[in-house]
A and B are shown apart, each in its own frame.
Chain A
Amino acid sequence: MSNPATPDGANSPRRAIDAVNASLKRRYAAEKRFRLMGMSAVILGLAFVAILFVDIVAKGWPAFQQTSIQLPIYFDAQVIDPEGTREADTLSRANYVVLARDALRAQFPDVQGRTDVRALNAMLSPGVPQQLRELVMADPSLIGTTQEIWLIADDDVDQFVKGAIPRDVPELERRVKDQTVAWIDALDERGRIEKKFNTTFFTAGASREPELAGIAGALMGSFYTLVLTLLFSFPIAVGAALYLEEFAPKNKWTDIIEVNINNLAAVPSIVFGLLGLAVFISFFGVPRSTPLVGALVLTLMTLPTIIIASRAALKSVPPSIREAALGVGASPLQTQFHHVLPLAMPGMLTGTIIGMAQALGETAPLLMIGMIAFIVDIPGGFTDPSTVLPVQIFLWADSPERGFIEKTSAAIMVLLGFLLLMNLTAVLLRRKFERRW
């Protein structure tokens, strides 16, 4: 601007090149500035993500370990099965707590008095009887023998061993009292207390006890819900996008539909939850708290996202491809399915994955349709009551027990892992579908 090319520039090339050289420095400086700004934006973004990840991983890591206490358990036939029938019913109803408590008492024979004994027993998790029951049910020949078994420790002991409950605060402010600390130290000396890999976290459903709570229920719930959401939303959205973009006449009505679809994408998700409650549960009688109703609601929520992305993908397919196909006598539908759709597929898949990721992280609408319920059993199908990962995170984050803090972070890690897997699949699918033209 400051150095305009003269009208007779064509006749005097030197003048033009001088102007070019003069402006060159300015242009490069602008380019450099732009690059620097872009880079600092990326670095800032990465830094925040790194902080988030480090925090979550640091907090969640201990959840993958669980403190266990090794005790020699005498599977007393008198306690388990006094009549020697070995019937499953008898075995499952036996009083296994006694076995564990006796074994622990044997380690500390000098503990006397009701309160002390109770404190000692409290070192073991309420899940211990179930643990022993499963062992005996799986192998009844254990009865009458003595076995060294690693029993799950209570969450307070667990937190103390992991260092989350500090040793050097006054006893009154500490959940683990001096007496218990002494017992833990004694067990530690005998090599009977250890942190082991926490399989329970990956195999168990929800529980009130942190040491017994697992992510499996929520993970399966999320899995079933997402599978259904994908099955519902992808075909509907692609069909809608195809129709609107390629077949529908362009008039007032399609304009109104377009505006409404764009609006739907911005409707607060809780509204979809209310709608689901009113329509799917109250009117159609779809069972509440199930992946089925969750998927229906999430489908409503993700449809606009996928439709908008799919329409953009269809728009980006060059018209010459359609002309080529129509020109050799392909019908409009053949043109779409043989030529346009394959080219638009990568863009459609990207939109779908964005929608799915949104659905995976969605909490609010699912609260409305009862997926917040406390469900111990791991869902085995699309109509079993279940919860989902983000709701589980919400529930755990809301729990007062210390043990749930690490579970919360661990659940976030699992959620992020799930997301990573989904995005990776998307990238691979894109690679497969991507073509040059």
Chain B
Amino acid sequence: MSTTAAEVGRATPTGAITAADLEKDRSFKGTIGDITSPNARMVCRDVNVYYGDKQAIKRVSLDIGKNEVVSMIGPSGCGKSTFLRCLNRMNDTIPGCRVTGLIALDGVDVYDKKLDVVPLRAQVGMVFQKPNPFPKSIYENVAYGPRIHGLTNNKTELDELVETSLRKAGLWEEVKDRLDQPGTGLSGGQQQRLCIARTIAVSPEVILMDEPCSALDPIATAKIEELIDELRENYSIAIVTHSMQQAARVSQRTAYFHLGDLVEVGETDQIFTNPQHKLTEDYITGRFG
């Protein structure tokens, strides 16, 4: 597992990124629209991802800015999850998966061989497409992250953190009387909200959400969207969604993926009202996908 970092081919071998690097990469013109963000926290340039011989992401460049929600849309299998998982190196765990190109968080190369992935993942949290609570109690699920990182000083603080996290995820009222029951005993939607609570409990600065609302009812969805809006004040968020309305509601910028290519990026309003590319237009008007 830990060895896959060594297998990752690197385009830019050094950890520090110079302005010249960025300038050079900006010239890339595969994608329609402005891939950059004025206040970028995560910078991705020419990212390629291969599963064995199969290329799942092709020369994707995209910034994720401070106080910004970037939504990623596109037909199933186009590589949205794959791209998202590159950002906190979750792809390291997949044997045969190779990432090339540049991904940087606050100017630090994420794929630098010397970089420790543990703090990276504490900083870049992730909500997975399929809910994956630990087979432990609801309380333990949320408390686990803060505990291993030593975020709280005592039990009371931890209790408080668990409660606020569950409240933010809109799950508190449903589970407050059964915190000691297994997280796996919850319904699919409740499990997903538990995973969201687990992720925000470690206060990550960038949050990656892979279809966080796909199993939720409209009320819970509204709750999560509210949370995303709230989190945006301090953090950066990348969200994958199949719901155009959701993308339109929560995000400032939208990226449209198609078969591993990043076809178009732009202000959310502009993408939905005035798409430039034929594929984008077809997708958002519902002609395919």
With a 10 A CB-CB cut-off, give which of B1, B119, B182, B185 has the most chain A CB atoms: B1
- Write 28 A-B pairs (CB below 8 A) sorted by A numbering: A320-B128, A320-B132, A321-B132, A323-B90, A323-B93, A323-B132, A324-B198, A325-B144, A326-B90, A326-B93, A327-B125, A327-B126, A327-B128, A328-B122, A328-B145, A328-B148, A328-B199, A328-B202, A329-B118, A329-B119, A329-B149, A329-B202, A330-B118, A330-B144, A330-B145, A332-B1, A332-B2, A338-B144
Residues of B within 8 A of A321 (CB): 132, 134-135
Contact A323 B128 (CB under 8 A): yes
Known: A329-B121, A338-B144, A436-B184. A324 touches B2 (CB 8 A): no
Q: Which of B117, B134, B185 has the most CB of A within 10 A?
A: B134
Restricting to A282-324, which residues have a CB under 8 Å from any CB of B?
A: 318-324
Cβ-defined partner of A250 (8 Å) among B95, B145, B149: B95
In the complex, chain B residues 120-166 whose Cβ is within 8 Å of any chain A Cβ: 121-122, 125-126, 128, 130, 132-136, 144-145, 148-149
Given contacts A327-B88, A329-B148, contact A437 B135 (CB under 8 A): yes
Interface size on A, residues (CB 8 A): 26
B149: A residues at CB distance < 8 A? 329
Does the CB pair A320–B118 fall under 8 Å?
no
Give the CA-CA distance A339 to B184 in the complex, in Å: 14
Nearest-neighbor residue (CB-CB) of A339 within chain B? B134
Residues in A with CB closer than 8 Å to B93 are 319, 322-323, 326
Q: B3 at interface (Cβ–Cβ under 8 A)? A: yes
Residue ID in chain B nearest A436 by CB atoms: B184
Q: How far is the CB of A36 from chain B (nearest CB, A)?
A: 38
Which of B122, B136, B182 lies in contact with A329, CB distance below 8 A? B122
Q: Are B128 and A324 in contact (CB under 8 A)?
A: yes
Contacts of B128 on A, CB cut-off 8 Å?
Answer: 320, 323-324, 327
Instruction: Tell me if B70 is interfacial: C-beta within 8 Å of chain A.
Output: no
Chain A residue at smallest Cβ distance from B149: A329
The reply on A405 being an interface residue by CB < 8 A is no
Is the CB of A247 closer than 8 A to any CB of chain B?
Answer: yes
Residues of B within 8 A of A324 (CB): 128, 132-134, 195, 198
Cβ contacts A418-437/B at 8 Å (1 or 0 each): 00000000000000000111
Please name the residue on chain B nearest to A330 by beta carbon: B148
Contact flags B59-96 to A (C-beta < 8 A → 1, else 0): 00000000000000000000000000000101001010
Where chain A touches its partner, the secondary structure class is helix
Q: Tell me whether B90 and A327 are in contact (CB under 8 A).
A: yes
Give the contacting residue for A435; candidates B130, B132, B144, B182; CB below 8 A. B182
CB-based closest 8 A-B pairs: A329-B122, A437-B135, A320-B132, A328-B145, A329-B121, A324-B132, A435-B135, A327-B126
CB-based contact A437/B148 at 8 Å: no
Bound Cα distance A327, B133 (Å): 11
Q: Does A249 contact B (CB under 8 A)?
A: yes
A325 to B117, CA, bound (A): 13
Q: What are the residues of chain A within 8 A of B118 when measuring CB–CB?
A: 329-331
Closest to B92 in A: A326
A113 to B126, CA, bound (A): 100
Tell me if A343 counts as interface (CB < 8 A to partner B).
yes
Chain B residues lying within 8 Å of A437, measured Cβ to Cβ, are 135, 184
Instruction: Tell whether A334 is near chain B: CB-to-CB under 8 Å.
Output: yes
Given the known interface contacts A321-B132, A343-B135, A436-B184, the answer about A327 and B2 at a Cβ–Cβ threshold of 8 Å is: no
Chain B residues with Cβ under 8 A from A339's Cβ?
Answer: 134
The complex places the Cα of A327 from the Cα of B91 at a distance, in Å, of: 11
Cα of A324 to Cα of B121 in the assembled complex, Å: 11
Given contacts A246-B1, A327-B126, A328-B144, is CB(A436)–CB(B135) below 8 Å?
yes
Taking a contact as CB atoms under 8 Å apart, the answer to whether A249 and B144 are in contact is no
Q: How far is the CA of A339 from the CA of B122 in the complex (A)?
A: 18
Name A250's closest neighbour in chain B (CB-CB). B95
> Which residue, of A319, A343, A436, A437, has the highest number of chain B Cβ atoms within 10 A?
A437
| Contact yes or no, A326 B144, CB < 8 A | no
Query: Judging by beta carbons under 8 Å apart, are A328 and B198 in contact?
Result: yes
Are B135 and A328 in contact (CB-based, < 8 A)?
Answer: no
- Complex interface: chain B residues within 8 A of A325 (CB): 134, 144
Kindly list chain B residues whose C-beta atoms are within 8 Å of the C-beta of A334.
Answer: 148
Residues from chain A with a CB closer than 8 A to the CB of B148 are 328-330, 334, 338
Minimal Cβ-Cβ distance residue in B for A342: B135
What 1/0 mask marks residues of chain B from 1 to 20 whose CB sits below 8 Å from any chain A CB? Answer: 11100000000000000000
Residues of A close to B3: CB separation below 8 A: 249
Smallest beta-carbon distance B197→chain A, Å: 11
Give the Cβ gap from A118 to chain B, nearest Cβ, in Å. Answer: 75
- For A328, the chain B residues whose CB sits under 8 A away are 121-122, 125, 144-145, 148, 198-199, 201-202
B140, closest chain A residue (CB): A338
Inter-chain pairs besides A320-B132, A329-B121, A329-B202, 14 sampled, C-beta below 8 Å: A247-B2, A321-B134, A324-B134, A324-B195, A326-B121, A327-B128, A328-B198, A328-B202, A330-B145, A331-B118, A334-B148, A343-B135, A436-B185, A437-B184
User: What's the Cα separation between A318 and B135 when bound, in Å?
Assistant: 11
Kindly name the residue among A319, A329, A332, A339 whose own CB sees the greatest number of chain B CB atoms within 10 A: A329
* CA distance in complex: A277, B1 (Å): 40
Nearest-neighbour CB distance to chain B for A426, whole angstroms, equals 21
Q: Which residues of A contact B2 (CB under 8 A)?
A: 247, 332
User: Which residues of A217-263 are within 8 A (CB) of B?
Assistant: 246-247, 249-250
- Interface centre among A326, A338, A436, by most chain B C-beta atoms within 10 angstroms, is A326
Collect the chain B residues with CB atoms within 8 Å of residue A318's CB. 132
CA distance A322 to B148 in the complex (A): 15
Kindly list chain B residues whose C-beta atoms are within 8 Å of the C-beta of A323: 90, 93, 128, 132
- Which residues of A lie under 8 Å from residue B198 when comparing CB positions? 324, 328
**86-120 of chain B: CB within 8 A of chain A:** 88, 90, 93, 95, 117-119
CB distance from B264 to the nearest CB of A (A): 29
**Chain A residues whose CB sits within 8 angstroms of the CB of B134 once the complex forms:** 321, 324-325, 339
Complex CA gap A334/B121 in Å reads: 14
Residue of B nearest to A251 (CB): B3
Measured in the bound complex, the distance between the Cα atoms of B144 and A326 in whole Å is: 11
Residues from chain A with Cβ under 8 Å of B88 in the complex: 327
Q: Chain A's nearest CB lies how many Å from the CB of B259?
A: 25
Is the beta-carbon distance between B184 and A327 smaller than 8 angstroms? no
A260 to B88, CA, bound (A): 37
CB-CB < 8 A to A246: which residues of B?
Answer: 1
Q: In the complex, what distance in Å separates the CA atom of A328 from the CA atom of B2?
A: 16
Q: How many Å lie between the Cα of A318 and that of B201 in the bound state?
A: 23
User: In the assembly, what is the distance between CA of A323 and CA of B1, in Å?
Assistant: 11
**CB within 8 Å of B: which A334-390 residues:** 334, 338-339, 343
